[in-house]
A = this chain, B = another copy of it.
Amino acid sequence: MAIKHPTAEQLELPSILSALGDSTRLAMIGRLADVAELSCGQFSELGSKTVLSYHMAKLREAGLIQVRAQSTRRFVSLRRAELDERFPGLLATIVPAAKAVETPRKVSEAPITPLARTDSYDWIVD
């Protein structure tokens, strides 16, 4: 665990983008987008408590969300202002697509990976 909540100036694009490069976390952002706060439990259809805790930590350490405690609950919110200040347009661009991310739903439905075996150097265009 590196950082608790980075300050606005500590936000780094690579970290933010890798934090968003996971469909579970993207789905979380999608759900936070038109709501002030959510408690962790309200993401339960995205995974187990442990998994959620893990992904929350990633989002928090990247600076995408704030976590507030109230009794035994954690209330999570998007750090919209700081993000818009440092990376204008980022949220606006990503949120619509994030809402459309299909729920990861377990490891089911692996569509028999095509595994298109190709010969060497054959991916070059032109």
Taking beta carbons and an 8 Å cutoff, which residues of A are in contact with B? 1, 3-5, 13-23, 26, 60, 66-70, 74, 87-90, 92-94, 97-98, 101, 116, 118, 122-126
Contacts and interface: CB of A to CB of B under 8 A. Distances in A.
A22 B18 contact: yes
Contacts of A21: 14-21
A94 B94 CA distance: 11
Contacts of A60: 123
A39 to B, nearest CB: 13
Nearest to A27: B14
B4 A14 contact: no
Contacts of A89: 89, 92-93
Nearest to A118: B4
Contact of A67 (B26, B69, B101, B124): B124
B18 A98 contact: no
A28 to B, nearest CB: 12
A12 to B, nearest CB: 9
B124 A69 contact: yes
Given A89-B93, A118-B1, A13 B98 contact: yes
A68 B98 contact: no
A101 B13 CA distance: 8
